[in-house]
Structure 1
Amino acid sequence: MKAAPKTSLHLVATRIPGRSPAVGRLQVGSLILPCAIGSAGVRRDKREGDHASPAGSWRLLYGFFRADRRAPRSSALPMRATRPGDGWCDDPASALYNRQVAAPFARSFETLWRDDRLYDIVIVLDYNIHPRRKSRGSAIFLHCARDGLDPTEGCIALRPRDFRRLLPRLSTQTILTIR
């Protein structure tokens, strides 16, 4: 007997008109969750450091989680525990720009092992991965939000309880559209 094909889940993150540029909602079918987006809103012409979330549709690739904190429920996404030296290069001059790196690292990088709990669960989007374009934005993730859904640097962030509820439904077939 042939296995049923996996259906892809489509997430849509949208800025809420008339509100702060960073206030958004994430729609998953009939489920609507509040989310945070980049403090500069959503832009088609994303640039490194512009604080905007990149407009477009991005596949979820894989994720990380803090194993020393509350472990996430299972997911069809490949997930691995972060370690204290894990980072993500955000230096456009580096050959490892927008790639995972290990500290110590001579160039600028985003620390994946954080005390503020934002990366207790983090999913890597395929934004600017293949092909990778220098200065077009790095470390664009789906991750946990700050209390109050404060703006991000360009990522999409969900309240931890909402993220944990959504995680078991996510797979490498999931598409996140930001608009």
Structure 2
Amino acid sequence: MRRSLAIDVRATPLDRRKGILKAGGMTLRCALGKGGVSARKREGDGATPLAVVKPLALYFRRNCKVSGVWQSTLPKIPIRADEGWCDAPGDPRYNRPVKLPYHASHEKMMRDDRLYNVCIVLDWNMYPRLWSRGSAIFMHIARPGLKPTEGCIALEPRDMRRLLPFLNCRTRIRILR
């Protein structure tokens, strides 16, 4: 069994929407939320939560060629066209996976871009789940140029490939300012 890896994610001093991820001997650049890192995370604020989180599962697109997916011991879930993630505070499925079409506000897991080719669900606001504290906080593939996220942590594909084999359900990710 692999040892748990401690990961620190810290906003850069010059741009709070970009970060440095340190895991073991690796130092990787990442994108953070357009609202920076916040201790008062709220739904729709675009901030990455100031928190310690752990990975729960690894969603992936079957047609994607990201090596490292199979080396991770996280539970693996192939993304289907009818999968979404509810982001509607007050809905009974808030911050949970849903089957599409879905009546309330949600995010599609099978996106037209590459962002969720590999998508790691983090346990932010899962247990317990509090209405409006933020939903769909993932670690996923970054937009070109490490453009800010809506509150997630995003990595370049090559860096995600390097990190995946070390992620397991005991990994702790400290998100710092």
Q: TM-score range by the shorter chain?
A: over 0.9
* Secondary structure at the counterpart of residue 148 of structure 1: helix
Equivalent pair of 1:13/1:25 in contact (CA under 8 Å): yes
RMSD: 1.0
CA offsets 1:31-82 (integer angstroms, 9 cap, x no match): 1000000011101110000000000100111110000121542111111110
Structure 2 partner of 1:65: 60
Is the Cα–Cα contact under 8 Å of residues 66 and 157 in structure 2 kept in the other structure? Answer: no
Q: Given that residues 58 and 177 in structure 1 are in contact (C-alpha distance below 8 angstroms), is that contact kept between their aligned partners in structure 2?
A: yes
Identity of aligned residues (%): 47
1:8 aligns with 2:4: yes
After TM superposition, list the pairs within 5 Å mapping 1:48-87 onto structure 2. 48-73=43-68, 74=70, 75-87=72-84
Task: Name 1:155's counterpart in structure 2.
Answer: 152
TM-score by length of 1: 0.94
Deviation (angstroms), 1:156: 0.3
Higher Rg: 1
Runs of 4+ residues over 6 Å off in structure 1:
none
Residue matched to 1:34: 29
1:46 to 41, 46, 51: 41
5+ residue gaps, structure 2, are: none
Aligned length: 174
In structure 2, the residue corresponding to 1:161 is in which secondary structure? Answer: helix
**Amino acid of the residue matched to residue 56 of structure 1?**
A
Q: TM-score, normalised by structure 2?
A: 0.95
The answer to whether residue 149 in structure 2 is matched with residue 171 in structure 1 is: no
The reply to whether residue 140 of structure 1 matches residue 163 of structure 2 is no
Matches within 5 A, 1:110-125: 110-125=107-122
The answer for unaligned runs of 5 or more in structure 1 is none
Q: Determine if contact 2:84/2:106 at 8 Å carries over to the other structure.
A: yes
In 1, are the aligned partners of 2:66 and 2:161 still within 8 Å (CA)?
Answer: no
Give the aligned residue type for 2:8. V
Distance 1:108 1:53 in 2: 20
